[in-house]
Amino acid sequence: MARKIIENPNMCSLVFAMNLIGGKWKPIIIYLLANGSMRFGKLLMFIPSISKKVLTDQLKELVEDGLIIREEFKELPPRVEYSLSKKGEGLLPILKSLSEWTVDTFEEEDFEKCRIVTL
């Protein structure tokens, strides 16, 4: 599936950012990688409602955009791990603030504590 982007003829920085991390899965993937590198199967385990194809596509886009790093290990069986790049780490305080805003704004909800590490 081709990436869905918002047209941005005036190069608005917010539109640019939303083209990088918009959608329902990318912020979740970044959040999960906040605690360290993970393999594909572990990411799939933590996001059970995502399909393998969608996870693969989202990881490829995040790698292409320089937000995560894909590291291949030359061993048998082959092993691949994903981790946050410096650009991806820069999103953690923003995601943490968004999480805190949600808890503060929707007090009637019973949220689980999100453990977003800020480096």
* 8-39 pLDDT per residue, tens: 878 899 888 888 888 889 999 999 999 899 99
Give the angle 57-62-67 at the CA atoms, nearest 5°.
170
**Contact criterion met (CB below 8 Å) for 114 and 31:** yes
pLDDT digits (tens, 9 = 90+) for 40-89: 999 999 998 999 999 999 999 999 999 999 999 988 888 999 999 999 99
pTM beyond 0.85, yes or no: yes
Q: Compute how many other C-beta atoms are within 10 angstroms of the C-beta atom of residue 34.
A: 20
Residue 40 tokens read as 């594909």
CA–CA gap between residue 89 and residue 63 (Å, rounded): 13
